[in-house]
Structure 1
Amino acid sequence: MSTILTVGPADGTPLQNVLAAAGYRVVHTESAEEALRCVRAQPPDLVLVDGRLPATVAADLVARVRAEPAAAAVRIVLLGSTPDPEPRAVLDIVRGTIDAGAPDTESASQPGDQRYRALFENSISGIALHEILTDASGRPTDYVFLDVNPAFEKLTGLRREQVLGRRVTEVLPGIEAEPFIETYGRVALNGEAVRFEQFAAPLGRHYDIAAFPWGRRRFAVVFTDITERRVAEERLRLQGAALEAAANAIVITDREGRITWTNPAFTRLTGWGREEVRGQNPRILKSGSHDLSFYEEMWRTLLSGRVWQGEMVNRRKDGNLYVEEQTITPVRCERGEITHFIAVKVDVSERRAAREALLRSERWYRTLAEAAHDFIFIVGREGRIGYVNTAAAARFGRRPDEVVGKRLNEVFPVEIAARFRNNVARVLASGEDLYAEERTVFGEGETWIGTWLAPLEGEGKEIESVVGISRDITVRVRAEQALKASEERYRSLFERNLAGVYRTTLDGRILECNDAFARIFGFGAGAEVRGLGAAELYPQPAARQAFLERLRAEGALVNYESEGRTRDGASVWVLENASLVQENAPGAPYIEGTIVDLSEHKRLEQQLRQAQKIEAIGQLAGGVAHDFNNILNVISGYSELALRRVDKRDPVRRYLEEIRVGASRAAGLTRQLLAFSRRQILEPIVLDVDEVLRGLESMLRRLIREDIELVTTLRAAPALVKADRGQVEQVVMNLAVNARDALPEGGRLTIETAPAELDEVFCRQHVGARPGPYVMLAVSDTGIGMDAETRSHIFEPFFTTKEPGKGTGLGLSTVYGIVKQAGGSIWVYSEPGQGATFKVYLPRAEEVVAAPRPPTPPAEPPGGTETILLVEDEEALRTLTRELLESLGYTVLEARHGVEALELSARLESRIDLLVTDVVMPEMSGQELAARLGDARPEMQVLFVSGYTEDGVTRHGLPAGRVAFLQKPFTSEALARRIRRLLDGPRGS
């Protein structure tokens, strides 16, 4: 006897009877889960699935039965969705299926194909039969439509002839982006049965889908359209979210009054949680403030289907009473019966308390109003005065009965009445209180009145009038105006003060400061500094702590210098005046004071000290060089005399040559010292700095290394200055060498010129600079740069950052002296790792460029037979000079000083052709000697000799550039040529 398992609703008894009468053993289950348990316990021969089961449930059951190993031979028949299938027709299907011995649902339909087809065609669920397609690796890539039922067409909008035999990616482009192919691949290839909900983007619909295997590489899909359900669910979700987020408390009860739902606002209002009140009656909120008739009237209204609105005094969970304004709406079902009530509650406790207070005050206001000195009145909607107290009437020189009943414009001046009407109208329209302060002019003059207006409700709870209380606030307003003016004056003084003004706590935290204070520390406005501590503005906590402790001890500090720190970390020096406020002032104790930025003053002070130091060093160097020149003159002179007397083959000659070379090198050093001390002999001419640079460019390129790029930026117009050409060349060469040495790994050296106008501001910031037109010569490098300590010493003689033996330390000091002697200034700008720029400012000249002198061909030192009076206080130098002159053929008379020279001249009757004298001597200067001898011997020429010209030309009264001058140390050739030029030329040449 074959066993048939029927699955479906319990009303299938006629079908079960027919099957039993046909000799089959029938087992019936109502659910898929129960049917699956039966299959596992004792597999039947056939499972008959009622078509009234949901398609997804039926599909899931088929898939799960197929997945049972013990049910491999079980046949499955799916009936159509007809509510009452014909039992005899079903019996024929069952017999055909069992007799054919079909192993699965696919072949079980063959004997009665038309009947099976009827079930397929009549299903309200969409059904589609597919075959999966895979690539070479077996991965599912697509699937083909084998068959679809009419419900498929209805639910998808796709016609059967459009899809049969076609791939899904052809029918629905873009479907590959959805998970269908991958999911159905698992069903067809792995035998899995799945059920899921999915939005099909190409169709724009939501579906509930069941898929199960159906033969080899085939699968069946049963689905229903759930789009409307999903839309409804989303609508319900949004409605629920809106109710949850509502600011008003919402309560839903059933018809019997049991609470079924509340929102969070209900909990905030009552203190009761949602779960605490579910199933409870709202009477848990009752306060006992309302009698039974109140609730009876409310329920009569609600049960009649009408909305009830009203105020109710309820009790919170914590026992406190509150007043709520409540709107309760009945909810009806489809049959029109009331099933629920929705109540919306608003807490109006404060509003009601205010209204009740106003009503209470109305009962006793007359007593209070009549005793008050304030002006109290009531104005109705029509603008008539309904009440005034005695003080208000007296303000206008009337009795209350003379004012009551009159319109505002009958009592007040037109302008005042208009303002009152506007304010009263605003209160009547808004129902809210209003306070206004207004200036009035009547009676004895200007008066300020402060008026408070509030709405008054009538018996119908409509605002019917406005009550007002006015007070003469003239004294207060004038005091406030005076205070405001005082505060504005203080604020103006505070904010516009060029000095920084501040107030701090005792530990230094900024409480208040003006913008000037903020700018000193690098901030834009005072608001950015307020709240900062002392440690954030002063880099040395110990120093600032000492300031605070001293201030606490002394109470005030005057002209106290402190080092601060700006917003970007730079140092700033400030001068402070501070005092400790300990009186009974608001916020005391605190510190208040002023600060002034001393940074520029400090910088200029440092520049001045540096300039004074360099000046002192220059004076010392000049004096040393002057005395040293006398010694060098002796050494070089005697070496020249000795060389004249020594045969060229004599081995001693080489020693004498070395002595002369050494003396020459030493003379070069003294010249550099003299240049630094600005005591060189100059031959200033008007020259074009750009032309000088062009002439030096090829030499500069040989001077620097190949890994250094030389860039010159010169002007087309001449850059004219009046200076010694050789010294300008020396400045450029020395600065170029300095830049080269700062570029050990190569880089760029830039030389440029430009016109410059130095103004008063620049000169105030740069000690020693003078306003006027200049030519700016800048030498910049991209080298290692310098720190502040190095920059402060670079112009000092013998200061060098090079290794011992690699430099004299006179290069930049020579540049400094040359620039200063030319009336200019030099400034250096550099930071470590940022290269350096030296800017030289030379006074601009407006004269014509001087033509270069033709070179003089070398010749033998010329001599002569004239008589020369030699005056020199240094005996060794005097002796040397005498011997040099005598070797040239001259007759030499010598004197140790001016007095001796005058005596010698007085005794001598013969002619003296030339006076050679030192400038600086004891007893008498060279200039005075020349003047006194010149009176007696007008034919005598004069040659001044000195180690430097500062003393001789300037300090001793000789006009610079207008006397014959020879600088020590000198060679015999230079002496011979200078003397010969004087003696051969006109007097004064």
Structure 2
Amino acid sequence: MPDKNDEAEITSCKAELRKLASELKEATAAHKLAEEALQNSENKYRSLTEASTDVILTLDTHGKFTYVSPAIETVTGYPCEYFLGRSFTEVIVPEYLELTKDRFRRGLAGEDIPLYEIEVLHKDGGSLHFELNGSSLYNHDGVVIGRIIIGRDVTGRKNTEEALRKSEQFLTDVFESVQDGISVLYPDLTIRHVNGVMKEWYKENLPLAGEKCYKVYHNKDTPCDPCPTVRCLNSGNSEWDIVPGLPGSPIEWIELFSYPIKDPKSGEVTGVVEFVRDITKHRQAEAALQASEERHRMFFESAPIGIMHYNSKGIVTESNDVAILTFGSIRERMIGLDLHVLPNKEFLREITKTLEGERGYYEGLYTSFTGKKEAQIKADWIPIFDNGKVTGGVGIVADITDQRKLETQLRQAQKMESIGRLAGGVAHDFNNMLGVILGHTEMALVQMDPAHPLHNHLTEIRIAAERSADLTRQLLAFARKQTIAPRLLNLNNTVDGMLKMLRRLIGENVDLTFLPGTDLWPVKMDPVQIDQILANLCVNARDSISGVGKITIETENVSTDQAYCAGHPGFVPGEYVLMTLSDTGCGMDSETMDNLFEPFFTTKEVGKGTGLGLATLYGIVKQNNGFIDVYSEPQCGTVFKIYMPRHAARVTAIQSEEHAEPALGGHETILLVEDEVSILQLIMMMLEHQGYSVMTASTPSAAITLARAHPGEIDLLMTDVVMPEMNGGDLARELLSFYPNLKRLFMSGYTANVIAHQGVLEDGVHFIQKPFRNQDLASKVRDILDS
């Protein structure tokens, strides 16, 4: 039987058991409650999970799906069962696989993983953008057993963002691709944004954003005035202006358009967009165009020919002054003139051609529509086309009246030159024949008794020969081939020395007055030519005066400029001594004036004049590089103005020449060379008659042979200038090589520039003009031998 201790222990055990049973009951009840709470919680969260539009899933540590929420099917098109047991690597777009693996490993390792985005495959073959957030799953022992991931489909947002990005990129591309500068400003003129063009233009002032526009764009401390942007801010309207660029920049001028940026609700201006266009080249082009137009306008207005423009109806729209002057009009009447009213039908026909698309040309007489002007004109009419249609024309007109006069004068000068060449050529042979006639006549007269019946006949022959020689000399003077010995002259002294002879020449009924100019410049001329000019003019003036009259000779210094010479064809600008001879005679008409200097032209009766007087004067003046101007009208007298070039050197006094007594001849040796045998024999007879020893040769080669063979000295070479083989000048130089002291006398009908340039003798050269008299020859030879 148990003892009391055992009973007590049993009782205690029962009590403990009852207590334990009670606690167990309570624990069971609490567990049941906990299980119910857990179940409720699970049901609650499952409901939340399954109702969520976000995808909630769990992965084990191997990355296999252990749970997916129903939203997965809506988003990806796959059912939940499709994912369970599969690895997440099977549903990730390959490009995001490494990223996902990395985030999964780091999450298992306990790292805090921030939100990240991946792309997940869709059942239809596309992909979805997911934004993922997750945390680790632990067991009751705190060991990581997987990952819970919450994924949100952000495809729509991404698409929106992409569309927005593309839109922004498009706007940015547009912003940057605009070739004009764009500058966005805050209301206080601070730069908010600029495009690349502005950055390039103002790269020296970068960065531009945050700076005041007037500072970086214009280098100013205060806003520009005027400034279209300031006006835009104040008015709320778009504004425009042209403003200078940055000083020192190649952008000199900009065109600025300012547009307000407004709050869509309040309408308040919150900024300005500036469109900036570099118009430097445009402005330069405008300036160049303007300069070009001004140049062309200047050319148009200052052109020496007339230029005019007319429209398709033949109405003049533009004309320069020359065209207006050519048409004999005034500007007010010329502009707007209908060319169809012009009276000249041929002229009008050529203009009409251009209005039909053809080129027109007219040359001839034009009479102005006022009838006040007649002129010779030349006109080109050129049509102007626009897209194949005639829109008008251009007329280029020139008054060629003066040109035609010049052409007439040129033809006259050429004719005179031709006659001169003919006269010069004839004079040479003619002088040789005259020389034979005159020489033999003189020789015969010397040997004949004056009482002999033939003496008078021979005298008449000599007189006729001398007159013929004078006529030949006049021809040579006209042809500018007479040989002259110019000297420096004071024309006043020369004229004054001629007055007594001139007064005897013109007679007592005509008053001769000389008005000498003061401080007259010197001229270089042969004084004999001055005598010829004065004698010819005074005789002509005397013959033009009926009864009592007056002749006035004046001298003065004059200078001619380009403008004066332009109105006097043939004149050359320079300084001249002017000798004017005027008379009160009957004057001349235009026909006489046109033929004034023609050789053999005369208005005198037959036998009263040769017609060579003024032709001789013309030749003399031209030979001395001078000019003649003549003015005359019927019953109004005549004025001759003779311009002789000023010579720079000082005048030396001219010793008066006394007529020498007949030379006595001599006994020196003379080598005579002449290719005309008759002349050779005649001169030899003259020289031998004067006592000289004469060696003759008809050719230069014969003369050289004769001179080389001659044992003694030869004192004088007397040679013709123009000969076969070589001229007289070359012969003289050849003989000087072995007769260095040989004196030379040249003879010719004219010099042909062998010993004279343009008929002017070189210094130290002795010359005798054919034909010559026996006394003249004797005097000349003696003077040379004694010099």
TM superposition score normalised by structure 1: 0.47
Q: Residue in 1 aligned with 2:414? A: 612
Shift of 1:696: 3.4
Aligned equivalent of 1:895, options 672, 689, 697: 697
Alignment deviations for residues 573-594 of structure 1 (CA, whole Å, 9 cap, x no partner): 33322124687999x7865412
Aligned equivalent of 1:669, options 451, 471, 481: 471
Q: Describe the shift of the 1:652–1:497 C-alpha distance in structure 2 as closer, same or farther (beyond 3 A).
A: closer
Q: Does 1:500 align with 2:306?
A: yes
Q: Does 1:802 align with 2:604?
A: yes
Contact 2:491 2:523 in 1 (8 A): yes
Q: Residue in 1 aligned with 2:651? A: 849
Contact 1:551 1:557 in 2 (8 A): yes
Contact 1:927 1:956 in 2 (8 A): no
Q: Describe the shift of the 1:699–1:870 C-alpha distance in structure 2 as closer, same or farther (beyond 3 A).
A: closer
- CA separation in 2, counterparts of 1:923 and 1:937? 21
Q: Does 1:732 align with 2:534?
A: yes
Aligned equivalent of 2:672, options 854, 864, 870: 870
Contact 1:576 1:593 in 2 (8 A): yes
Aligned equivalent of 2:662, options 857, 860, 863: 860
Q: SS at 2:622's partner residue?
A: helix
Q: Residue in 2 aligned with 1:573? A: 376
Q: Describe the shift of the 1:814–1:523 C-alpha distance in structure 2 as closer, same or farther (beyond 3 A).
A: same
Q: Does 1:624 align with 2:624?
A: no
Contact 1:864 1:888 in 2 (8 A): yes
- CA separation in 2, counterparts of 1:563 and 1:680? 43
Contact 1:683 1:724 in 2 (8 A): yes
Q: Residue in 1 aligned with 2:581? A: 779
Q: Residue in 2 aligned with 1:659? A: 461
Shift of 1:664: 0.7
**Structure number, greater radius of gyration:** 2
Q: Relative contact order: is structure 1 or structure 2 higher (C-alpha 8 Å, sep ≥ 6)?
A: 2
Q: Does 1:517 align with 2:312?
A: no
Aligned equivalent of 1:824, options 626, 637, 642: 626
Aligned residues: 511
Contact 2:355 2:393 in 1 (8 A): no
1:419-434 correspondence runs (5 A): none
Q: Residue in 2 aligned with 1:557? A: 360
1:253-264 correspondence runs (5 A): none
Contact 1:507 1:534 in 2 (8 A): no
Shift of 1:864: 1.6
- CA separation in 1, counterparts of 2:511 and 2:385? 67
- CA separation in 1, counterparts of 2:319 and 2:565? 32
Contact 1:518 1:526 in 2 (8 A): no
- CA separation in 2, counterparts of 1:856 and 1:441? 112
1:408-427 correspondence runs (5 A): none
- CA separation in 2, counterparts of 1:524 and 1:862? 81
- CA separation in 2, counterparts of 1:763 and 1:801? 30
Q: CA RMSD in A?
A: 4.0
Contact 2:560 2:572 in 1 (8 A): yes
Shift of 1:680: 2.0
Q: SS at 2:380's partner residue?
A: strand
Q: SS at 1:754's partner residue?
A: strand
1:42-57 correspondence runs (5 A): none
Alignment deviations for residues 133-183 of structure 1 (CA, whole Å, 9 cap, x no partner): xxxxxxxxxxxxxxxxxxxxxxxxxxxxxxxxxxxxxxxxxxxxxxxxxxx
Q: Residue in 2 aligned with 1:46? A: none
- CA separation in 1, counterparts of 2:608 and 2:432? 28
Quick one: which amino acid aligns to residue 321 of structure 2?
Answer: D
Quick one: which amino acid aligns to residue 685 of structure 2?
Answer: E
Alignment deviations for residues 302-354 of structure 1 (CA, whole Å, 9 cap, x no partner): xxxxxxxxxxxxxxxxxxxxxxxxxxxxxxxxxxxxxxxxxxxxxxxxxxxxx
Aligned equivalent of 1:904, options 701, 706, 714: 706
Q: Describe the shift of the 1:589–1:803 C-alpha distance in structure 2 as closer, same or farther (beyond 3 A).
A: farther
Q: Which piece of structure 1 moves more, 652-661 or 625-634?
A: 625-634
Quick one: which amino acid aligns to residue 525 of structure 1?
Answer: R
Contact 1:689 1:718 in 2 (8 A): yes
Q: Describe the shift of the 1:493–1:593 C-alpha distance in structure 2 as closer, same or farther (beyond 3 A).
A: farther
Contact 1:952 1:958 in 2 (8 A): no
Q: Describe the shift of the 1:574–1:702 C-alpha distance in structure 2 as closer, same or farther (beyond 3 A).
A: same
Shift of 1:548: 4.8
Contact 1:617 1:796 in 2 (8 A): no
Q: SS at 2:524's partner residue?
A: strand
Shift of 1:941: 2.0
- CA separation in 1, counterparts of 2:656 and 2:457? 35
Shift of 1:882: 0.9
Q: Residue in 2 aligned with 1:443? A: 238
Q: Does 1:967 align with 2:769?
A: yes
Quick one: which amino acid aligns to residue 445 of structure 1?
Answer: W
Q: Residue in 1 aligned with 2:73? A: none
Q: Does 1:922 align with 2:714?
A: no
Quick one: which amino acid aligns to residue 888 of structure 1?
Answer: Q
Q: Does 1:976 align with 2:778?
A: yes
- CA separation in 2, counterparts of 1:584 and 1:788? 54
Contact 2:517 2:557 in 1 (8 A): no
Alignment deviations for residues 735-778 of structure 1 (CA, whole Å, 9 cap, x no partner): 22233334447655432222111233444554543332210112
Contact 1:758 1:771 in 2 (8 A): yes
Contact 2:307 2:322 in 1 (8 A): yes
Q: Residue in 1 aligned with 2:117? A: none
Q: Does 1:596 align with 2:401?
A: no
Q: Does 1:947 align with 2:742?
A: no
Q: SS at 1:928's partner residue?
A: helix
Alignment deviations for residues 5-40 of structure 1 (CA, whole Å, 9 cap, x no partner): xxxxxxxxxxxxxxxxxxxxxxxxxxxxxxxxxxxx
- CA separation in 2, counterparts of 1:889 and 1:617? 42
Q: Describe the shift of the 1:501–1:956 C-alpha distance in structure 2 as closer, same or farther (beyond 3 A).
A: closer
Q: Describe the shift of the 1:545–1:626 C-alpha distance in structure 2 as closer, same or farther (beyond 3 A).
A: farther
Alignment deviations for residues 107-126 of structure 1 (CA, whole Å, 9 cap, x no partner): xxxxxxxxxxxxxxxxxxxx
Shift of 1:652: 0.4
Shift of 1:617: 1.8
TM superposition score normalised by structure 2: 0.58
- CA separation in 2, counterparts of 1:441 and 1:748? 96
- CA separation in 2, counterparts of 1:574 and 1:900? 64
Contact 2:554 2:581 in 1 (8 A): yes
- CA separation in 1, counterparts of 2:528 and 2:563? 32
Contact 2:581 2:640 in 1 (8 A): yes
Q: Describe the shift of the 1:955–1:702 C-alpha distance in structure 2 as closer, same or farther (beyond 3 A).
A: closer
Contact 2:483 2:759 in 1 (8 A): no
- CA separation in 2, counterparts of 1:951 and 1:802? 35
Shift of 1:506: 9.4
Q: Does 1:756 align with 2:558?
A: yes
- CA separation in 2, counterparts of 1:854 and 1:840? 25
Shift of 1:955: 6.3
Quick one: which amino acid aligns to residue 641 of structure 1?
Answer: M
Aligned equivalent of 1:716, options 511, 515, 518: 518
Q: Residue in 2 aligned with 1:678? A: 480
Q: SS at 1:659's partner residue?
A: helix
Q: Residue in 2 aligned with 1:92? A: none
Q: Describe the shift of the 1:950–1:960 C-alpha distance in structure 2 as closer, same or farther (beyond 3 A).
A: farther
Quick one: which amino acid aligns to residue 624 of structure 1?
Answer: V
Alignment deviations for residues 257-279 of structure 1 (CA, whole Å, 9 cap, x no partner): xxxxxxxxxxxxxxxxxxxxxxx
Q: Describe the shift of the 1:738–1:529 C-alpha distance in structure 2 as closer, same or farther (beyond 3 A).
A: farther
Q: Which piece of structure 1 moves more, 780-789 or 797-806?
A: 780-789
Shift of 1:562: 3.6
Q: SS at 2:539's partner residue?
A: helix
Q: Residue in 1 aligned with 2:447? A: 645
Q: Describe the shift of the 1:907–1:697 C-alpha distance in structure 2 as closer, same or farther (beyond 3 A).
A: closer
